[in-house]
Structure 1
Amino acid sequence: MVDASTGTEAHLFQMDKAVQWPEYEFNTEGEEWKVEHDHIYDTRPRILQSTPMKRFRNSQQLVNVGSLHDTAMSPNLHSSVHEDLSCTVTSKCSTASDPEYVPDTDECNEFSVTDTSTVIEEDEQSFVKERKFIVFESCLDSLIRKISCSVVCNNQDICNAPFIEIKKHSQGTFVSVSVVCLNGHTYTLWKSQPCIGRIAVGNVLSSAAILYSGCNFYKVREMFDLLGLGFISHNTYYRYQRELLFPVIDVHWQQEQRRLHDAFSGIKLCLAGDGQCDSPGYSVKYCVYSFMEVDTKRIVDFEVVQVTEAKTSAAMEKLAFTRCLNRLLAQSYKVTAIATDRHSGIIKIMREIYKDKGIAHEFDMWHYAKSLKKRLVAASRKRNCSAIAEWIPAITNHLWWSSSKCDGDLCMMRERWQSVVLHITDQHEWDHGRKYHACSHKEYTDEERSLRPWIEKDSQAYLSLAEVVLSKTMTKDFEHMTKFRHTGALEVYNSFSLKYRSKRIHFTMDGMEARTKLAALAHNANVHRPQARVRFPSEGGDTVGSLRHRLVFPKFKKKWVAKALYEPTTNAHVFPMLVDVLRLLEGKLTHSWDPRNSTMPVNIATEERPDKSLTVQHHLSRFQN
């Protein structure tokens, strides 16, 4: 059966026998998106170099930097958003003769992109796909000085007079150049980027690139400041987020959910679920609960809950789990099993509510083995129990093996697991038991047996280990472990999602949801990446065509292990989103996104906000007494 991968590049498609997928591209529509690396350049001689050049010493050509200006955003966004503007004019600038000069009440010039922009007829795709460059101002000035006036006079002749005045208007990353020639002709000579209405395309795309790549505005703004590049203000960026970027993310997430629903229609599903808090420690504000389909490893849905909606962080995870699962069931997903950690609240509602609906509850083996290891480590630290420490890796592996080899048989699972208390004493056959009467490993030689750190039966170490292995709680949990389900892939996704919503940065509810959608879309687009292969021969390296691995030394394992290397991730799914941002700006795209910020409390404080002056006075008085 062929799996139509979520990615859009050909090498991402591979066989998946778990489920029958429809024969269409899974995460994007239309042609394949990819930024070209080969370009056709103009063969005419270049006018100037890409590095800064010395300015001419002619006083008429010296350019001075003016003051900051503000401009209003397009009415398409239903509000005015002021951006940082700069106006650069010559020392002989005469504002009285400037037809574009409009006095402002704030004593600064207002630059309107509409005054100089033309109607954009190009496709939005070309704006996204074409290359962009960083231009030094000195190089731009050098180019302008090589140009003469191109205005056609009344006698049908071109003016060709030199420029005596140059004005640069900047709006974020956008800059336009207006000139005045010796004969008094005034016009806009050049714009650094196209505009849609009164909004520069580069400003919108740079904002989208920040969010869609998982970056943070303030870090990018600091980088731009260090580099000397103009950039939009934070108010403008967050306005773009609310009015353009978040709605487009929601549109593509809904498209992804419809494709998933069509692909999983009529198929019995086993879901893996896990919650992730937005910050470490006890300062949790959000809990994100995600469901992954086990066989295809795709994120099916998620839910974000704020701490004001529940009393504790544990209750937040339970609430998010319930909301998300109920939504999936309401959409006619045939969920037959769910694998989670041993969250007490989730165990209870699965037993009391969803068990009657035919949904089995499986414990995640990854979390359970992690919990078992902690108990074994604690047992090994008891007096005269240090011998247990050498057996901890083997015992945790034995738990995985017992679950994977029981074939859903609870009795076999229990007897395989409990046989470890005999194995560690060098006893490998026994008469008791219903289905399992001997260890499955090969018979040890005398030399191998002499190297094993066997534990003496009835010793303190043996009794402490048996107390953990044969505990009633663990024996009772076996009924939730016979299907061998684990959420390792979901843990990888949770780690990957931190690229988009770091635990060290605070986000609003809308920001948390949007960035989680971005993480889910990126994960689904790259979930079936193939393992990389060696492409070029190297001295002492692997043969060409062999699968690539790398050696790592995890601190907790204390030994070298090999990890597979996969092909690089693709961002092909992001480019249609960038195009849709411009389409939404032009009014060609509609959406149904409903922000949640308006329904959330202003803050999570448990008491009324006090008077600021009194609080500051109380704070300062502590240092005066």
Structure 2
Amino acid sequence: MSWRRCVFRCERKSTLFGLPKEDTARNLWLRFIYSPVPEQYNTNIRVCSAHFTEDCFLNLGEYKAGCAQRLLLKSGAVPTLPGQSGASDSQLSTSQQALGSERLSTSSRSRDVSCQTDSIETLPAASPKTRSVGTQLSLGTLKGTHARSKGTQSSPPITFPPHKRPCLALDEEEGDTDISESIAEPHDSAVTEESGLLEQTSYNVSKYIVFESCLRELFETCPLCETKCDVQCRRMGSYVSFTQHCPKCSYHRKWESQPVVGSTPVGNLLVSAATYFCGASFIQFEKICKAMQLQIIQYDTFRRHARNYLEPAVIHKWNLDQKNLFSKLQEGGKVAVAGEMRADTSGHSAKYGSYTLMHPDSDTILDMQLVQSDEVGGSFHMEKEGLKRCLDHLEANRLTVEYITTDRHPQIQKFLRERNIVQFYDVWHFEKGLSKKLDRLSQKKGCEILKKWLCSIKNHVYWSATSSTSGPEKVAKWTSLLNHIQNKHIHENPEFPKCAHPEKVSRDPKKWFQPGSMPLYKVEKILNNKRVLKDVEKLSHHHKTSSLEAFHRVILRFAPKNVVFSFIGMLCRLYLAAMHYNENAEREQATTTSGQPMNKVVFSKSKKDECTAKPLKAAPSYDYVADLMKLVFEEVFADPAPFVEELKQIPIPSFLSSQFERPLKEEAVDRHISCFSQGAVESLQTVHMYQGTPAEHWGGRTQVFCPK
């Protein structure tokens, strides 16, 4: 039987009422509906208003006067009338209408605005004011018949499914610490009793900052008799509701600032989602809101939202986007990739290491793997493990790597040789390592002439790498540099017998390296090193990892190195950075109103006297944030179970401290105090070195040993 109609199949438009929560009243309802009461029955059945007497309604007169949208039942009301098929609420019997007119003056006029509330804060009564408040509705508007206020109506609403969200092994929204009551009320829920569906809400409509003083003025006076009213305020994070009651005419209504689904205000979830998806820090955002006294959710609520809805949505969207990208690349056969690792901290003390594979032809992030240091025995081995996981993931999706461009990490070289994958070295990393050695050499006495050639040598690195794909020819062009710095343009190497540029004769011999000199010998030792010559043959002739360096700068916006994240939190922020980069990697150059391309002047950090002009890119887009918002509010929030299961499939390593035995907090505090006190005493005793001090002196220093 459909619960959208009366259980007695009354063909009419009327108000439907569900079974009461109280057991006594529920049993009376069931005895009226079923005779006898069955062991099993549909809990979603509805009974229309035609089966109740006039004294069962709380707002009969107000409903007939047009001040209420639907009838309200009194607590404990029981249906007793058989009803009339085809009748409606407006076609009540004459006796009912007469009785309703007599009860109008004494019954409470009520207007239900579906308020989900928490703790109660009684506001002080104030004298009525006639000044209109532009931020909300006027007093004349309140006298008419209106549906439940939703704040805004500009965007299409979102329909949530009628079924109840499955219970997860996760914490649900319970509100902030300043809430003393439960937000869910039996008769003021966000469920429409006429249809049984969750209230339709919109998340992509405009929002405004409204002062509480402006809201109070809307509820201070009664819209019917203009008498000073009793007002109660209820808060929950960014959510606020007001309950207005007139002591003279018993006018009653409730208003809420935002829709509420289940026990979660939509605005509170929006704050968490916008903060997380944009890569912002909730702690910093909370400081901003506290500075301006803007009500906001607490950090614990933010973490519940992230754990239950936001992080599962990020994982799902990344997997979906990656699957679509792999499908496109499978059509083109083998792929060329570039890879590099990024650590969350500098040096070998990093906790996390993320290895990234990029498709250089489309400048798109293909895959990212996050590795914790204790998984591989230390930070030094994270790069190899990250690359291994990336390559395994590509092979599992039927993608064959043609060649890969990386840095010159020895572990990576050996690993790729064992997997029979062609490897090329990134030119920038090669030039960076070589330039450091040459810069140190140019600082030494007698080698100052090398400073004039540093820029030319750097340019020669890129020219040798990109001019040809043949290894021996690259080496021949590379070794010709030594003849060039001596002003020799004819070479003995048959692969490259002569320089391609025209000969330039200089009258100043100090510009060139002299044959047999010590500076030339030291430069030749660096440039003709066996490892250098071997690496020159494998320099990448086409692709570079400079785009990966740019992507690593994007990661800093989402996962700064001075902030500690959990494993899933770090992984989700890496995925968000990848979504942002993939969406904005191929941005066009910005133009003026007349269509002229725009450029910017950038000064070099290392060369303070030099500047270069670079094209100014257009403003980035954030379509991925809109997609994530839609995913959260239309799918994840309605049924988070499958998304959470997808997240649980990711293997999460244990905490680094889990391998150690955790001492009691009291013992750690006592040890710290005892160590500090003992150190202070021994420091005073070491002032007089030869007066029987117990401190131990060694190497001119005083060592204080604290008891363990």
Task: Decide: shared fold, TM above 0.5.
Answer: yes
Deviation for aligned residue 1:451: 9.8
Q: Residue type matched to 2:675 in 1?
A: R
Matched AA of 1:236:
T
Residue number in structure 1 paired with 2:216: 141
Partner residue in 2 for 1:257: 322
2:173–2:263: 8 Å Cα contact kept in structure 1? no
Distance in 1, Cα, partners of 2:298 & 2:464: 58
Contact between 1:249 and 1:518, CA under 8 Å: does it hold in 2?
Answer: yes
Distance in 1 of aligned mates of 2:555 and 2:349: 19
Q: Does 1:323 align with 2:323?
A: no
Give the residue type in structure 2 aligned to 1:254: N
Give the AA of the match of 1:563.
K
Deviation for aligned residue 1:262: 1.5
Cα distance in structure 2, aligned partners of 1:308 and 1:588: 31
Partner residue in 2 for 1:132: 207
1:83 aligns with 2:175: yes
Paired AA for residue 561 in structure 1: T
Find the counterpart in structure 2 of residue 302 from structure 1: 368
1:502 to 544, 560, 563: 560
Task: Give 1:138 deviation, angstroms.
Answer: 1.1
Residues 210-250 of structure 1, C-alpha deviations (whole Å, 9 max, x = no match): 11010111111111111111111211111111110011111
Partner of 1:418 in structure 2?
A: 479
Partner of 1:366: 428
Which amino acid is the alignment partner of residue 620 of structure 2?
A: T
CA distance in 1, matches of 2:321, 2:527: 44
Structure 1 position 526 matched with structure 2 position 584: yes
Residues 243 and 255, structure 2, Cα contact 8 Å, conserved in 1: yes
Q: Aligned partners of 1:123, 1:589: CA distance in 2, in Å? A: 21
Q: Is the 8 A contact 2:311 2:572 kept in 1?
A: yes
The equivalent of 1:20 in structure 2 is none
Once residues 504 and 196 of structure 1 are traced to their aligned partners in structure 2, the CA distance between those partners, rounded to angstroms, is: 37
Letter in 2 for 1:275: M
CA deviation vs aligned residue, 1:69-95 (integer Å, no higher than 9, x gap)? xxxx997565344322657xxxxxxxx
Relative to structure 1, the CA distance from residue 184 to residue 109 in structure 2 (aligned partners, 3 Å threshold; closer, same or farther) is farther
Question: Residue by residue, what CA displacement relative to the aligned partner does 1:370-409 show, whole Å, maximum 9, x if unpaired?
Answer: 1111111122233311211221121111111111001x11
Q: Percent identity?
A: 29
1:42 aligned partner: none
Match of 2:356 in 1: 290
User: Helix, strand or coil: the match of 1:193?
Assistant: coil
Looking at structure 2, the residues matched to 114 and 485 of structure 1 have their Cα atoms a distance apart, in angstroms, of 64
Shift of 1:258: 1.5
Distance, in Å, in 2 between the alignment partners of 1:596 and 1:276 is: 24
Tell me, what secondary structure is at the counterpart of 2:202? helix
Q: State the aligned residue count.
A: 512
Contact kept, 8 Å, 1:425 with 1:454, in 2: the verdict is yes
Partners of 2:458 and 2:198 in 1: CA distance: 61
Decide which of 167, 192, 207 is 2:232's aligned counterpart.
167
- Tell me what 1:576 maps to: 627
CA contact (8 A) 1:196 1:586 kept: no
> In structure 2, the residue corresponding to 1:568 is in which secondary structure?
coil
Contact 1:307 1:604 in 2 (8 A): no
What is the Cα deviation at residue 490 of structure 1?
Answer: 0.7
Match of 2:46 in 1: none
CA deviation vs aligned residue, 1:559-598 (integer Å, no higher than 9, x gap): 1111221001001121121011112212289424224788
Conserved 8 A contact 1:176-1:191: yes
- Between the aligned partners of 1:164 and 1:315, the Cα distance in structure 2 is 70
Aligned mates of 2:558, 2:512 — CA distance in 1:
48
How far apart, CA to CA, are the structure 1 residues paired with 2:659 and 2:424? 37
- Specify the code of the residue in structure 2 equivalent to 1:242: R
3-state SS of the aligned residue for 2:234?
strand
Matched residue of 1:623: which SS? helix
Q: Which residue type is aligned with residue 401 of structure 1?
A: W
Counterpart-to-counterpart distance in 2, 1:484 and 1:574: 34
Question: Where does residue 27 of structure 2 map in the other structure?
Answer: none
Contact 1:113 1:199 (8 Å CA) reproduced:
no
Q: 1:47 to 1:270 in 2, by over 3 A?
A: farther
Aligned partner (choices 509, 516, 529) of residue 471 of structure 1: 529
Amino acid at match of 1:308: D
Q: Is the 8 A contact 1:552 1:560 kept in 2?
A: yes
SS of the aligned residue for 1:439 comes to coil
Report the TM-score, using the length of structure 2 for normalisation: 0.68
Distance 1:287 1:571 in 2: 26
CA contact (8 A) 1:284 1:307 kept: yes
Specify whether residues 109 and 265 from structure 1 end up closer, same or farther in structure 2 by C-alpha distance, changes over 3 A only.
closer
Q: Is the 8 A contact 2:405 2:426 kept in 1?
A: yes
CA offset at residue 450 of structure 1?
A: 4.5
Provide the rounded CA distance (Å) in 1 between the counterparts of 2:540 and 2:386: 26
Counterpart code for 2:417 = R
- CA spacing shift, 1:282–1:410, aligned 2, 3 Å: closer
Query: 1:218-233 counterparts in 2 under 5 A?
Result: 218-233=283-298
State the SS of the aligned residue for 2:229.
strand
3-state SS in 1 of match to 2:663: coil
Match of 1:546, as an amino acid?
Answer: Q
1:112 pairs with 2:164: no
**In the alignment, is the contact (CA less than 8 A) between 1:266 and 1:334 conserved in 2?**
no
> 1:94-113 residue pairs with structure 2 within 5 A?
108-112=180-184
Write the distance in 1 (CA, Å) between the matches of 2:362 and 2:670. 59
What is residue 638 of structure 2 aligned with on the other side? 586
Q: Deviations over 1:161-218 (max 9, x none)?
A: 5352111111111111111112364744321111222211111111011110101111
1:605 Cα deviation (Å)? 5.8
Partner of 2:597: 547
Which of 320, 335, 339 does residue 405 from structure 2 map onto? 339
- In structure 2, what is the equivalent of residue 17 of structure 1? none
Question: Residue 491 of structure 1: which of 549, 563, 566 is its match?
Answer: 549
What are the superposed Cα offsets for residues 334-372 of structure 1, whole Å, 9 maximum, x if unpaired? 2101111111111111012x21xxx21111111111111
Aligned twin of 2:346: 280
Give the Cα separation in 1 of the matches to 2:513 and 2:528.
Answer: 16
Task: Work out the CA distance in 1 between the residues paired with 2:530 and 2:199.
Answer: 67
What is the CA–CA distance in structure 2 between the aligned matches of 1:114 and 1:171, rounded to whole Å?
18
Structure 2 residue identity aligned to 1:324: C
For 1:245 and 1:222, how far apart are their aligned partners in 2?
22
2:494 maps to 1:434: yes
Q: Work out which of the residue numbers 364, 375, 399 in structure 1 matches 2:437.
A: 375
User: Structure 1 regions of 5+ residues with no counterpart?
Assistant: 1-45, 52-72, 88-107, 150-158, 536-543
**Aligned AA (1:138):** S
Q: Does 1:348 align with 2:401?
A: no
Partner Cα separation in structure 1 for residue 187 and residue 433 of structure 2: 67
* Deviates most, 248-257 or 381-390: 381-390
1:16 corresponding residue in structure 2: none
- Taking the aligned partners of 1:599 and 1:475, their CA distance within structure 2 comes to 43
CA distance in 1, matches of 2:186, 2:202: 19
User: Higher Cα Rg: structure 1 or 2?
Assistant: 2
**Secondary structure of the corresponding residue to residue 384 of structure 1:** coil
| Inter-partner Cα distance in structure 2 for 1:115 and 1:388 | 85
Partner of 2:265: 200
Give the structure 1 partner of residue 379 of structure 2.
Answer: 313
Q: Within 5 Å, give how 1:370-409 maps onto structure 2.
A: 370-406=432-468, 408-409=469-470
Find the aligned partners of 2:321 and 2:510 in 1 and give their Cα distance: 53
Rounded to whole Å, the distance in 2 between the matches of 1:269 and 1:187 is: 69
Shift in alpha-carbon separation, 1:469–1:434, aligned structure 2, 3 A: same
Q: What does residue range 438-453 of structure 1 map to in structure 2 within 5 Å?
A: 438-444=498-504, 446=506, 450=508, 453=511
